[in-house]
Amino acid sequence: MHSDRPLHAARAPRIAIVGAGLGGLTCARVLQQHGRSVTVFEREASADARPQGGTLDLHVDTGQAALAAAGLLDRFHALARPEGDEWRVLDFADATLVAQQGPSADGARPEIDRGHLRALLLDSLTAGSVVWDRAVSGVTPRADGTCRLLFGDGTAEDFDLVIGADGAWSRVRPALSNAVPGYTGVTFVETGFDHCDSCHPDLARLVGNGSMLAKGVGRSLVAQRNSNGHIRAYVALRVPQDWHLAAGVDLGDQRAVRTHLLGMFDGWDESLRDILRTGDHGFTNRALFVLPAPHTWEHVPGVTLLGDAAHLMPPVGLGANLAMLDGADLAHALVTESGLDDAVRAYESVMLPRSIEAATGSARGLDHLVPATAS
């Protein structure tokens, strides 16, 4: 019969986090702030194994609150770009300014490159906390309330708590839920521009210091300024997941992708169509997936989820913020509740309702970003 295990027993609880993303690293940092031992397992070979994506706006009540709990808020503000909290909406037909929102006066949502934020969290951890190149294949909850972590090389290790922070295609989630991500009907095709102010001045003018949006029915163009003069652009399309197959387009053939996309944006202003013509980087196809909402589960001792593993949503500004808040909230529960199971139950009782509300909001955000019909 399982009984809750005190957190302050003679043997420190063995805690594993699967996934070295923003949520998992925040959880690890807050735990270490309170003297708790934790190991993070990451399938990627190193911190630099792949690009970490674009820019994020961190909200005061979520992402920034998590960084405050981690003791990293001042270091974050030294890296952040408050001027990046600016939006311009352009008319697709002539690129005239339709609406503009400047940075908030109180700097409530400053931007930061995802890679810079991840590096900040990684550098704050005790050396050796992250075990790189250690893929997890699954977890098995055990009768005594512990959890067996199964690795891709066939080995296994037991922990008192396994935290699944391993994203959309989580290998930990099946221990709690049969839910799998489903396609939203929207795909982002990503490209990028380097040294924009000198090499792409017209685009730099359209985008400004923050982000630019131009939208039509079923298709939009979004461009976001990152640090170091880089602009990342997204061609947002309401299309079948296999749109390129139906169109006879080889995603590896950049010229064919460009030609097809230009056809889809026929009638748009030429300065906007230049986003499709003049990128310094190739096109990367990113179909967007979400978990069913609401996504909940019956509590299982020894295992829980945070971030995209728990509540995968469209990338409209909520996901990273919620993942970091999840990590901070879970760590706080683990250092304040009397036992592991009590801590996880307390965390899940807050996180799950919060994620349901956020999922509804993010779905509306995606509909606004890529409208299915004319407004």
Question: Which tens digit of pLDDT belongs to each residue from 295-339?
Answer: 999 999 999 999 999 999 998 878 999 999 999 999 999 999 999
Give the SS3 label for residue 219.
Answer: strand
Whole-number Å distance between alpha carbons of 222 and 210: 11
Whether the per-residue pLDDT at 119 is higher than 70: the answer is yes
The 10 Å CB-count burial string (b at 16+, else e) for 242-270 is ebbeeeebeeeeeebbbebbeebbeebbe
pLDDT over 70, % of the chain? 97
Q: Which residues pair with 194 in a beta bridge?
A: none
pLDDT at 248: 96
The whole-number average pLDDT for the span 64-73 is: 98
What is 271-320 written as a DSSP string? HHHHHHHS-SS--EEEEEEE--SS------TTEEE-THHHH---SSSSHH
Total residue count of the chain as it appears in this document: 375
Whether the per-residue pLDDT at 1 is higher than 50: the answer is no
Q: Which residues pair with 141 in a beta bridge?
A: 147
Q: Which residues pair with 42 in a beta bridge?
A: none
Class for domain 183-290, per CATH?
A: alpha beta
Beta strands 182-193 and 284-290 are antiparallel
Whether the per-residue pLDDT at 73 is higher than 60: the answer is yes
Are 369 and 211 within 8 A, CB to CB?
A: no
> Residue 168: CA atoms inside 13 Å, Cβ hemisphere, count?
12
CATH of region 15-82+106-181+291-369:
3.50.50.60
pLDDT at 12: 87
Whether the per-residue pLDDT at 51 is higher than 80: the answer is no
- Give pairs for 243-251: CB < 8 Å, separation 24+: 243/187, 244/285, 251/283, 251/285
pLDDT at 8: 42
**DSSP tally for the chain: helices H, then strands E:** 12, 17
Q: How do the domains of the chain map onto residue ranges?
A: 15-82+106-181+291-369, 183-290
Span 161-211, pLDDT tens digits: 999 999 999 999 999 999 999 999 999 999 999 999 999 999 999 999 999
Span 131-143, pLDDT tens digits: 999 999 999 999 9
pLDDT at 4: 53
Q: Which of 185, 180, 232 is nearest to 204 (CA)?
A: 232
pLDDT at 317: 77
pLDDT at 103: 77
The 10 Å CB-count burial string (b at 16+, else e) for 171-205 is bbbebbbebebeebbbbbbbbbbeebeeebeebbe
> 141: buried, middle or exposed (CB in 10 Å: 19+, 13-18, 0-12)?
middle
pLDDT at 277: 96
Whether the per-residue pLDDT at 3 is higher than 70: the answer is no
- Using 50, 70 and 90 to split pLDDT, how confident is the model at 153? very high
The whole-number average pLDDT for the span 280-287 is: 96
How far is CA 105 from each of CA 65, 110, 334, 338, rounded to the nearest angstrom? 18, 11, 36, 42
